[in-house]
A and B are shown apart, each in its own frame.
Chain A
Amino acid sequence: MKILAYSVMILLLVPLQTTLLPHVSIWGLTPDFGLAVSALIGLFAGELEGLVVGLAIGWILNMYSAGDLWVSLVTKGGVGLLGGLLGQHVAHVTPTVVSVGLLIFSAVGGVMAVLTMKSAFGADVWAMVQSMVLPQACLDAVVGAGLFYVANQQLASDRALMSDRL
């Protein structure tokens, strides 16, 4: 059942990321839902599940991108794994914690993506970091925190419902 749910989620993530989100891009940047979803799955379901689903998301989304496969696999899988570790080791996970984590991870992933580009040389890299990587990291952090807040509210109401039934 869980595998089916994850499969449907990945299936829906592709049209969301490639067809719908470009309409709401800010300065040509679209939030990376794949990154945010991988981190949240790691956070709520543990590091192994986060890693596996993150790798699946990275692989499938890369089929619809001109980027290198390994960058996508490492960033999405890595963020799932780190999300799981964060869930295990941080006592109070808040939207702020999630947004800071995603900000750092998205920035690192962005720098990796920029460094693998053919066009990146010296000054260009710094210009791309300023104009693309940092705004993208901020956007991912905001989206991730928002998704975490919604998921957390849903989880809290489910728990309340369950305790009422018991």
Chain B
Amino acid sequence: MWMATLRAPYNARRVALGGFALLLLVLFLFPSQSQGVLQYFDGPIGQVIRIPLEVVASIDQGISGVWHSYVALQGVQTENEQLRQDIEWLKGQNNQLREAAAATERLTALLHFKEQALPTLLAAQVIGRDATSWYRSVILNKGESDGIKSDMGVITAAGVVGRVVKTNSATSVVLLVTDPNNAIAGLIQRTRDEGIVEGTQQGLARLKYIPMLSSVRSGDHVVTSGLVGGFPRGLALGTISRIDKEEGALFQSAELMPEVDVSRLEEVLVIQAPYGMSVHTDGKNIPSGKP
């Protein structure tokens, strides 16, 4: 086995130990300033790292595309038949909902309600996962130079994916809805009770702080409440699978099955402005919808 050699001079050891002690001191005494200095260099470094990251991500997606398109096709016929049946059922539902939407539109006009502007969205590709095992997050191929900022909401057509927590000029990190450190304001669609949706260690989500008198039940849909954060009202968060009601507790909570399968994300939409605001370069959002 390898024998230790005393190659490094004594000075190098002192410099290393001194440097590390100084680093610890600076990090603990000036946490935000020291991180700010390093984040200043994130931009150019991020642009350089973007190249190998995107090359590897495109090769990876090419291989998984070939696998899913040609190799892993077992059971596709059965799935296809099931999906055809679902489409027929959804067509019927769609017709009913169109009728309901038309009625809502008439009533909205009648009551002079403000029309809600559509959110401003930006499409991005998922090019990686968190560099550590401690957080459930994904890396997007768009960053500050594309107008992405921290706290912006991220969605797919199915529902909420998560929230942007970190950006550099070329990429951004999205904390998933299933991460225990994430918190999004949610609303039970049927009962209109509000709560906070947090991730769980098991990779699911949990709606907390539901009032004890709420008639919430399994199968209820939870959507974003639109009150806090970068999400407009009504985006699907998940379906309640279990209610936890403890004797003597002030609130009840519910386990949620997230609408989006976060393990298979490829493309997402970043909400740059939840209520149709135009994004300006100085970071201020100015409403562009109807007054």
Q: Do A and B bind each other?
A: yes
Cα(A131)–Cα(B6), bound, Å:
40
Q: When the two chains form their complex, are residues B129 and A89 in contact, meaning their CB atoms are under 8 A apart? A: no
Cα(A66)–Cα(B46), bound, Å:
15
Cα(A65)–Cα(B166), bound, Å:
8
Q: When the two chains form their complex, are residues B56 and A20 in contact, meaning their CB atoms are under 8 A apart? A: yes
Cα(A16)–Cα(B95), bound, Å:
48
Answer whether residue B12 sits at the interface, using C-beta atoms and an 8 A cutoff.
yes
Interface residues on B, range: 35 or more
Q: Which residues of chain B (107-140) have a CB below 8 Å from chain A?
A: 127-135, 137, 139
Cα(A39)–Cα(B3), bound, Å:
16
Q: When the two chains form their complex, are residues A28 and B203 in contact, meaning their CB atoms are under 8 A apart? A: yes
Find chain B residues with CB under 8 A from A62 CB: 131
Q: When the two chains form their complex, are residues A132 and B133 in contact, meaning their CB atoms are under 8 A apart? A: yes
Q: When the two chains form their complex, are residues B175 and A66 in contact, meaning their CB atoms are under 8 A apart? A: yes
Cα(A16)–Cα(B134), bound, Å:
17
Q: Which residues of chain B (68-117) have a CB below 8 Å from chain A?
A: none
Q: How far is the CB of A11 from chain B (nearest CB, A)?
A: 5
Chain A, 58-75, contact with B by CB distance < 8 Å: what is the 0/1 string?
A: 011111111101101110
- Secondary structure at chain A's binding surface: helix, strand, loop or mixed? helix
Answer whether residue B157 sits at the interface, using C-beta atoms and an 8 A cutoff.
no
Q: When the two chains form their complex, are residues B53 and A19 in contact, meaning their CB atoms are under 8 A apart? A: yes
Find chain B residues with CB under 8 A from A89 CB: 4
Q: How far is the CB of B13 from chain A (nearest CB, A)?
A: 6
Chain B, 1-32, contact with A by CB distance < 8 Å: what is the 0/1 string?
A: 11111111000110111011001100110010
Cα(A64)–Cα(B173), bound, Å:
6
Interface residues on A, range: 35 or more
CB-CB nearest in chain A for B162 = A66
Q: When the two chains form their complex, are residues B24 and A74 in contact, meaning their CB atoms are under 8 A apart? A: yes
Contact A47:B16 (CB < 8 A) given known A74-B24, A94-B1, A119-B181? yes
Q: Which 5 A-B pairs have the closest CB atoms?
A: A18-B128, A15-B56, A46-B8, A119-B180, A66-B135
**28 residue pairs A–B, Cβ–Cβ below 8 Å:** A14-B53, A14-B131, A18-B128, A18-B130, A18-B131, A28-B133, A46-B12, A47-B8, A48-B8, A48-B12, A48-B13, A48-B16, A51-B20, A61-B132, A63-B45, A64-B139, A66-B135, A70-B27, A72-B132, A81-B20, A87-B4, A89-B4, A91-B4, A92-B4, A117-B134, A127-B201, A132-B134, A156-B2
Interface on B for A, CB 8 Å cutoff? 1-8, 12-13, 15-17, 19-20, 23-24, 27-28, 31, 34-35, 38, 42, 45-46, 48-49, 52-53, 55-57, 60, 127-135, 137, 139, 165-166, 168, 171, 173, 175, 179-181, 198, 201, 203
